[in-house]
Amino acid sequence: MRKNLKLSITLAAASALCAGQAFAQSPNGGYLLQPRSVAQVDYGNDYSDYYADYYADDAEQKAAEAPSAADNNGGTAACDTCDDCGQSCGGSCGGRSCGGFFDPSRPGLFTVSGWVNGGATLNDHSVGNNPQQFINNGGQGSNFPVGFNDREQGQLNQLYLIIGRELDTSSRGWDIGGQIDLLYGSDARFTQALGLDDNIISDKESLEYKMAIPQLYGSLGVGDFTLIVGHFYTFHGYEVVPAPGNFFYSHAYTMQYGEPFTHTGALLNYQMTDNILIYNGLVRGWDNWNDNNGNWTYLGGISMQLGEDTSILATIISGNEDDAGANNRTLYTIVVQQAFGPFRYVVQHDNGWENNASAVQMGEDAEWYGLNQYLFFDYNELLALGARFEWFRDDDGARVGFGDTNYYQCTLGANVKPTGNAIIRPEVRWDWQDGGAASTNAYAQGTQRSQFTAAFDFIVTY
């Protein structure tokens, strides 16, 4: 980025041409268009919140149809919530505790939700994807370096289960919660954490289909502060691991190669104002349960909502990642979203560096950076269209593994919602590379410098 300002400006113009061919959705301001910001870092909420705005457009109707307190109590005010106790019952609840975990008005302790996600991908090179090739290629599918849909065949990407208790301090002094996420499928091998779930299903049992525990944490909320302790998703970047949180089936290089997936440690969130959320934490590095060194890594950020149509997310992570605890790795991410009626534009910039980590020049530092752009358009309640253009620079070959290389991809897709709990996501995608040795080909298992894929998947939530 610092060395390629002119190139980044050129790429921004090129991305506008790509995005101009199709548009994408901002489903009623819902989950698909939020960065990992306020909604997605409120770990007390399960991932059903991501698609709640997309599906639950009848919330106001349900509220209007709900029976009133007078209807339930023969024309008298109810005395079964903290608000009712304070306002209608003279501050007394018959000895019951109002506020916090033991509040009698609190809903059930645990909720269960999840989804099933699967799809299929075709590659214009069609190099094949038999089991032996997959093993010989180190578990890399024929669409590599594209992931998570890296196989040129059908895949069960995510069989996802969430069990948790939502944290709610909106009207109470304090509350406790927690959550566990279980992921089975071909996506699980990309999201495993060292020492936690990396050997639940061994390579001998299955090289492609694994089990992961991407979240396992407890939470404590007091007023405007929330403390998360355990294992949880990162809030870096725009794209996320849970399928319902993304518009596209495939993922950006930035998300797969340039950012962490999960952290283990503690994160303190401070809701400074209604529109500003600040994060500060200490974690065990990138994608670790058991750290490979004894050093802690700083994780922090700020999320700002500037009016109804503009939001900004800025995050940073910095700490030692190698076994000896000597190599510092730092990454910052900035995500900006701007709505224009039914249109929404998203731009993301990442820049990461690590000392003594170059795969091109021994002993030199490594750096990676890039620019992602998205344009979304809501056509109607059943259909949305979208475009994504990405430039990802692996300046020293440390992230993707094909030397000093620029990676580009342009993706055009749609979201089709046939029912209230299902989405179909078709897409076409063109990937190509620039730079590196002429013989260093990234695509078609080392035989090509570009590839075209066509894919679709489905998501069914429960």
For the chain, list residues with pLDDT below 50: 1-17, 19-102, 104
pLDDT at 137: 62
Environment class of 428 (CB within 10 Å of its CB; exposed 0-12, middle 13-18, buried 19+): middle
**Residue 273 β-bridge partners:** 276
Could you give all domains of the chain from N- to C-terminal order, each with its CATH number?
A: 5-57+105-461 (2.40.160.10)
Model confidence pLDDT, tens digit, residues 287-327: 999 887 888 999 999 999 999 999 999 999 999 988 777 78
pLDDT at 319: 94
pLDDT at 25: 30
* Angle, CA 457 vertex, CA 444 and CA 143 arms, to 5°: 10
Contact 116, 185 (CB under 8 A): no
Which of 51, 44, 40, 48 lies closest to 303 in space, CA to CA?
A: 40
Q: Is 186 helix (H, G, I), strand (E, B) or coil?
A: coil
